[in-house]
Amino acid sequence: YQVMLGSYLGDGGIDQVGPHKYRLKIQHGIGQLEYCHWKASMFNRQDDVEYIAENGYAKKPACRFSTLTFGLQDEFAVGAKASIPQWLIDDLNAKALAVWYMDDGSIGTKCDYAMMST
């Protein structure tokens, strides 16, 4: 559950496939292949990680997998992550935060530290 929450906040996407039924889609650059396999193993999908030779606009190698459909009483904001529901924030623990950081975190050059000083 926590890996799913952190992935949703990070590089993952959620598709709604029915009322209160969802599927998590994970995609990472090829440099995170081992991490993608680890995530897939959390969902018992380690044999379903696919290699993508030319991903998106950048045409760079990547890997991906999808979870099986799962039920969830709470609702996700499907599509753009412009609004994170309060229930999701309330449910986060250290594992979800670690996954979110591993997906999107950066140490150093890409982060504008001047903006964070306020």
pLDDT for the residue numbered 84 = 85
Strands (E) across the chain are located at: 13-18, 21-29, 50-55, 60-66, 70-71
Q: What is the pLDDT at residue 57? A: 83
Instruction: Report in angstroms the alpha-carbon separations of 84 from 47, 76, 88.
Output: 31, 8, 7
Which pLDDT tens digits describe the chain residue by residue (118 residues)?
999 999 999 989 989 999 999 999 999 999 999 999 999 999 999 999 999 998 888 889 999 999 999 999 988 776 666 678 899 999 999 999 999 999 976 554 444 433 333 3
Write down the pLDDT at residue 58: 82
AA letter at 77: A
Q: How many CB atoms lie within 10 A of CB 82?
A: 6
Cα 25–Cα 100–Cα 33 angle in degrees, nearest 5: 60
